Amino acid sequence: MTPSPETSHVMSAADMDRALTRIAHEIVESHRGVEGLLLLGIPRRGTILARRLGERLARIDPGFDPAQAIGSLDITLYRDDLRAHGARTPEPTTIPGAGIDGATVVLVDDVLYSGRTVRAALDALQALGRPAVVRLAVLVDRGHRELPIRSDHVGKNLPTSRDERVSVLLDEIDGVPRSEEAVVIQRGRSVKSPAGER
């Protein structure tokens, strides 16, 4: 009989909120304001986190309009693991009306692991236009990079082993109440990294 994975909570809902607030302040500081700033979430959790970051940016600087400066960037057709994992259903790509040319684009995702998801996102972005700057914001960086990619804004650096799985549990996807959202690590022989965690 295969043992059940052991689960540990490494970030609470309050920890996640604080991390997103700090990242929002870092983005405003590094960009010196919000003019020309766009957030593009990588579906699915990255899109939700981008919206939450946008809410915080609007509170920090009323010049940031979430309705005009937040979108999502589907990377399905740009992934390098389609052959291994089979067909996937693409998520919608939504780009703010002004487009990405000349903008500072912040890609937003939940977990940074090998870097392959971000590489696919950069390829998808290149097909849409030419931003002035591209930055990356992630809630968790768990290490084990396979490509020379790093995040500009990180909620939590989390040392892990390759046989652990890091999951970000969000109300909109996982059905947990907002007060019980969390980042968890699962350990054990039956744990496999999800196809999306790359």
- CB of 109 closer than 8 Å to CB of 125: no
For the chain, the domain total comes to 1
> Cα separation of 158 and 25, whole Å?
21
**CA atoms within a 13 Å half-sphere pointing along the CA-CB vector of 172:** 9
Structural domain includes residue 21: yes
Place of tokens 């020379």: 148
Structural domain includes residue 8: no
Structural domain includes residue 191: no
pLDDT of residue 88: 67
Q: Taking each helix axis as running N to C, give the angle between helix 45-60 and helix 13-31, from 0 to 180 degrees, rounded to the nearest 10.
A: 60
Q: How many CB atoms lie within 10 A of CB 17?
A: 15
Structural domain includes residue 90: yes
Beta bridge partners of 134: 105
pLDDT of residue 82: 61
Backbone angles phi, psi at 183, to 5 degrees: -110, 125
Across the chain, which has 198 residues, the per-10-residue mean pLDDT values are 75 98 98 96 97 98 96 91 65 90 98 96 96 98 96 97 96 96 85 49
pTM for this model (two decimals)? 0.91
Residue 154: give the domain boundaries. 13-161
Structural domain includes residue 127: yes
pLDDT of residue 50: 98
Structural domain includes residue 196: no
- Cα-based angle 29, 30, 32 (whole degrees, multiple of 5): 60
pLDDT of residue 4: 60
Structural domain includes residue 172: no
pLDDT of residue 23: 98
pLDDT of residue 98: 85
Backbone angles phi, psi at 18, to 5 degrees: -65, -40
- Cα-based angle 7, 10, 13 (whole degrees, multiple of 5): 110
pLDDT of residue 68: 95
Structural domain includes residue 177: no
pLDDT of residue 194: 45
Extract the runs of DSSP E, i.e. beta strands, from the chain: 6-11, 37-41, 70-72, 104-112, 133-141, 153-157, 165-169, 182-187
CATH code (residue 76):
3.40.50.2020
pLDDT of residue 85: 57
